[in-house]
């Protein structure tokens, strides 16, 4: 996606939402268009919570930490009034007076663009697996990457197996992952 388009969209969204919902009554704002779908107010609440509790704090951590690990964000009680939700969303964007959110997005994006491809946490996990003499268990990898969710380590392991770079012997917590011999037949079992 084009970075300028993303940054422009982020800046324009609060005003566009307010304009698009200007004539909505409270009943319309909270009525979902179909069963199982979100109402206008639920979408705005989701955006406000994401902005305030997740997006900007995570951008800051991405700039401050080498390998941030993000836990699930607990929800907060928010107003049941569409105008108040729109205000909360706009305030979450405006609250970035010291360092505007759009500048955070630009900086994180520029750092990502500057990263050599294949580098980063996934590359470190791959190197640890491929360099482990005699293989490695998931628990051993997790100790070497504290704070990294096991689901992420598993994803890297499964990607390596799909590319026929490793094989897995055993199942469950005692499964061992080891580098595949050149041209060797691979048998992979899920953990």
Taking the chain (191 residues) in consecutive chunks of 10 residues, what is each chunk's mean pLDDT? 67 81 87 89 83 77 74 62 78 57 67 56 82 84 80 87 89 86 47 36
Give the position of tokens 């997740």. Answer: 54
Return the domain boundaries, the chain.
3-114, 121-179
Q: Which residues of 12-41 are buried (b: 16+ CB within 10 A; e: fewer)?
A: eebeebbeebeebeeeebeeeeeeeeebbb
CATH class of 3-114: mainly alpha
pLDDT of res. 190: 37
H/E stretch holding 136: strand 136-137
pLDDT of res. 110: 67
Q: Which bin fits 169, alpha (ψ -120 to 50), beta or left (φ > 0)?
A: beta
pLDDT of res. 95: 58
pLDDT of res. 191: 36
User: Could you confirm whether domain 121-179 is CATH 1.10.10.10?
Assistant: yes
pLDDT of res. 185: 42
- For residues 11 and 3, is the Cβ–Cβ distance under 8 A? no
pLDDT of res. 189: 39
Counting other chains too, the contacts that 159-162 makes at CB distance below 8 Å and 24 or more residues apart are 160/126, 160/129, 160/130, 161/186, 161/188
pLDDT of res. 183: 44
């Amino acid at each position: 996606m084009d970075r300028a388009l993303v940054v422009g969209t982020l800046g324009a969204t609060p005003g566009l939402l307010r304009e698009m919902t200007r004539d909505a009554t409270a009943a319309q704002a909270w009525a979902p268009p179909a069963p199982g779908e979100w109402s206008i107010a639920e979408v705005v609440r989701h955006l406000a919570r994401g902005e305030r509790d997740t997006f900007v704090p995570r951008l800051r951590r991405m700039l401050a930490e080498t390998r941030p690990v993000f836990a699930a964000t607990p929800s907060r009680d928010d107003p049941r009034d569409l105008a108040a939700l729109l205000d909360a969303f706009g305030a979450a964007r405006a609250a970035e007076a010291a360092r505007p959110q759009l500048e955070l997005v630009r900086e994180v994006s520029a750092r990502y663009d500057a990263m050599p491809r294949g580098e980063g946490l996934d590359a470190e996990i791959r190197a640890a697996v491929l360099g482990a003499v005699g293989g490695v268990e998931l628990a051993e990898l997790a100790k070497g990457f504290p704070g990294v969710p096991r689901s992420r380590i598993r994803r890297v392991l499964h990607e390596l197996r799909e590319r026929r770079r490793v094989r897995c012997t055993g199942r469950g917590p005692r499964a061992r992952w080891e580098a595949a011999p050149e041209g060797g037949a691979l048998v992979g079992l899920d953990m």
